[in-house]
């Protein structure tokens, strides 16, 4: 199957300043790819290169099997820019209807449906839209023509948590329909729940590409069991992946690294009355790729969006 994005040694320098260097990346059809990195790491530069908004200093790139300079590929892409400029007195609904017509006809009902899901007010002149509503209009125009490939630059910025959830459902639906999504973010928490894979950029370089499900399997999680009667410590000792084991009467707690299968089978020999398993903390794994200062910013971002 043709890759949706394929780059080889893709590089962009702004004068002497490095925007992106030697990017080798493949995005496969039907996947949601999270593109993560701190501010200024090269995410927007990558996206602009894919869309031929800027041209590479060197290297090669194809999008949907085509050179991005071929204008015909644009109609197959939905794009949400990071800094959306929407101005003027035209109502958002008229603007979207116009864009829909330019893109070969988008049913009005589809635009209204997306607006309802995102709780967007389209009756307001564009220049008077709030930041959140601008972002919603940006999302609607990216999704409305049901493109094969969605490129979303920081899509959740300015959205409140409930609308963020609705947006993530929209992304999942795109994946279910076999289409492809690239979304950038500076925090993992936004991308983690919908991405199949994530790439991490730092200082203009791709430093890691990880499979989310493999990462989840690798991540350490804390588990607690409560039984109906005290249990012997020996029953839980030396199980694969089990560490920091504490057995106190009828309660057992530990961390588990990898699959919890052996631990669950050990526990199942007794009567379990309650069990707690914390979500693995992927954020901590990712932050090891960041510098201390970047990690502090990313943590602050998570706290803000929580
Ligand atoms: N037009 C430009 N002229 C000069 N330098 C630029 C330009 N655009 C980006 N850069 C530089 O290229 C580097 C990568 O920037 P880019 O905007 O791609 O990062 P980003 O990861 O998208 O960050 P952010 O989340 O802040 O948008 C940064 O050092 C930035 O200052």
Ligand 1 atom having least distance to the Cα of 17: 5
pLDDT at 100 (0 to 100): 87
- Of 289, 210, 299, 296, nearest in space to 37 by CA: 289
Rounded to the nearest angstrom, the distance between the alpha carbon of 14 and the centre of ligand 1 is 9
pLDDT at 43 (0 to 100): 94
- Of 30, 276, 43, nearest in space to 152 by CA: 43
- At residue 305 the predicted structure's pLDDT band, cuts being 50, 70 and 90, is very low
**202 C-beta closer than 6 A to ligand 1:** no
Kindly report, residue by residue over 109-133, the tens digit of the pLDDT: 889 999 999 999 989 888 888 889 9
Which residue has a Cα nearest atom 7 of ligand 1? 14
pLDDT at 19 (0 to 100): 94
Cα separation of 168 and 160, whole Å? 12
**CATH 3.30.70 location in the chain:** 220-277
From residue 58, alpha-carbon distances to 22, 27, 47 in Å are 9, 20, 16
> For residue 279, how many other CB atoms are within 10 A of its CB?
10
- At residue 40 the predicted structure's pLDDT band, cuts being 50, 70 and 90, is confident
Write the CB contacts of 300 (distance below 8 Å, at least 6 apart in sequence): none
CA 126 centroid distance within chain: 27
Structural fold of domain 5-215? Rossmann fold (3.40.50)
Provide the mean pLDDT of the chain.
Answer: 89
Reading the block at residue 46, the tokens are: 């990558």
Q: What is the mean pLDDT of residues 46-57?
A: 96
φ, ψ for residue 207, nearest 5 deg: -100, -15
Q: What is the mean pLDDT of residues 167-182?
A: 96
**165 C-beta closer than 6 A to ligand 1:** no
**CATH 3.40.50.300 location in the chain:** 5-215
**38 C-beta closer than 6 A to ligand 1:** no
**186 C-beta closer than 6 A to ligand 1:** yes
**89 C-beta closer than 6 A to ligand 1:** no
Rounded to the nearest angstrom, the distance between the alpha carbon of 39 and the centre of ligand 1 is 8
Which residue has a Cα nearest atom 3 of ligand 1? 14
Kindly report, residue by residue over 73-122, the tens digit of the pLDDT: 998 999 999 888 878 788 888 888 888 888 888 888 889 999 999 999 98
Ligand 1 atom having least distance to the Cα of 186: 25
**12 C-beta closer than 6 A to ligand 1:** no
Which residue has a Cα nearest atom 31 of ligand 1? 40
pLDDT at 190 (0 to 100): 77
The pTM (predicted TM-score) of the whole model is 0.81
pLDDT at 295 (0 to 100): 65
- Of 157, 212, 215, nearest in space to 190 by CA: 157
**53 C-beta closer than 6 A to ligand 1:** no
Kindly report, residue by residue over 141-168, the tens digit of the pLDDT: 999 999 999 999 999 888 988 999 999 9
Kindly report, residue by residue over 15-38, the tens digit of the pLDDT: 999 999 999 999 999 999 999 988
- At residue 306 the predicted structure's pLDDT band, cuts being 50, 70 and 90, is very low
Ligand 1 atom having least distance to the Cα of 204: 14
pLDDT at 288 (0 to 100): 67
The ipTM, to two decimals, is 0.95
φ, ψ for residue 32, nearest 5 deg: -105, 120
**154, exposed or middle or buried, with CB in 10 Å at 0-12, 13-18, 19+?**
buried
| Contact in structure between 125 and 94 (CB atoms under 8 Å) | no
76 beta partners: none
Which three-class secondary structure string do you get for the chain? CCCCEEEEEEEEEECCEEEEEEEEEEECCCCEEEEECCCCCCHHHHHHHHCCCCCCCEEEEEECCECCCCHHHHHHEEEECCCCCCCCCCEHHHHHHHHHHHCCCCCHHHHHHHHHHHCCCCCCEHHHCCHHHHHHHHHHHHHCCCCCEEEEECCCCCCCHHHHHHHHHHHHHHHHCCCEEEEEECCHHHHHCCCCEEEEEECCEEEEEEEHHHHHHHCEEEEEEEECCCCCHHHHCCCCCEEEEEEECCEEEEEEECCCHHHHHHHCCCCEEEEEECCCCHHHHHHCCCCHHHHHHHHHHHHHHC
- At residue 262 the predicted structure's pLDDT band, cuts being 50, 70 and 90, is very high
From residue 114, alpha-carbon distances to 5, 122, 171, 293 in Å are 27, 11, 12, 38
**pLDDT above 80 (res 283):** no
Report the residue among 10, 42, 57 best suited for mutation to probe ligand 1: largest number of ligand atoms under 8 A from its CB: 42
Kindly report, residue by residue over 220-245, the tens digit of the pLDDT: 788 999 999 999 999 999 999 899 99
**123 C-beta closer than 6 A to ligand 1:** no
For the domain spanning 220-277, the CATH number is 3.30.70
């Amino acid at each position: 199957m043709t890759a949706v994005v394929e780059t080889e040694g893709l590089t962009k320098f702004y004068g002497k300043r490095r925007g992106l260097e030697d990017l080798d990346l493949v995005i496969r059809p039907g996947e949601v790819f999270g593109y993560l990195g701190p501010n200024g790491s090269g995410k927007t530069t990558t996206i602009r290169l894919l869309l031929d908004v800027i041209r590479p200093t060197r290297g090669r790139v194809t999008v949907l099997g085509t050179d991005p300079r071929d204008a015909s590929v644009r109609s197959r892409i939905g794009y949400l820019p990071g800094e959306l400029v929407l101005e003027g007195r035209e109502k958002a609904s008229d603007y979207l209807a116009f864009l829909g017509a330019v893109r070969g006809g988008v049913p009005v009902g589809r635009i209204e449906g997306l607006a309802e899901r995102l709780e967007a007010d389209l009756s307001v002149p564009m220049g008077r839209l709030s930041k959140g509503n601008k972002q919603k209009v940006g999302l609607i125009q990216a999704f409305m023509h049901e493109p094969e490939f969605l490129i979303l630059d920081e899509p959740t910025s300015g959205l409140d948590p409930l609308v963020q959830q609705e947006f993530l459902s929209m992304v999942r639906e795109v994946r279910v329909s076999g289409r492809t999504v690239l979304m950038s973010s500076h925090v993992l928490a936004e991308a983690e729940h919908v991405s199949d894979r994530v790439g991490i950029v730092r200082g203009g370089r791709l430093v890691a590409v990880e499979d989310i499900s493999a990462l989840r399997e690798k991540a350490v999680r804390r588990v607690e069991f409560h039984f109906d009667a005290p249990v012997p410590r020996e029953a839980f000792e030396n199980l694969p992946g089990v560490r920091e084991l504490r057995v106190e009467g009828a309660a057992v707690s530990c961390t588990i690294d990898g699959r919890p299968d052996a631990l669950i089978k050990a526990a199942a020999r007794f009567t379990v009355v309650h069990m707690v398993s914390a979500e693995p903390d992927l954020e901590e794994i990712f932050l090891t790729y960041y510098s201390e200062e970047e990690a502090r910013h990313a943590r602050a971002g998570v706290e803000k969006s929580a």
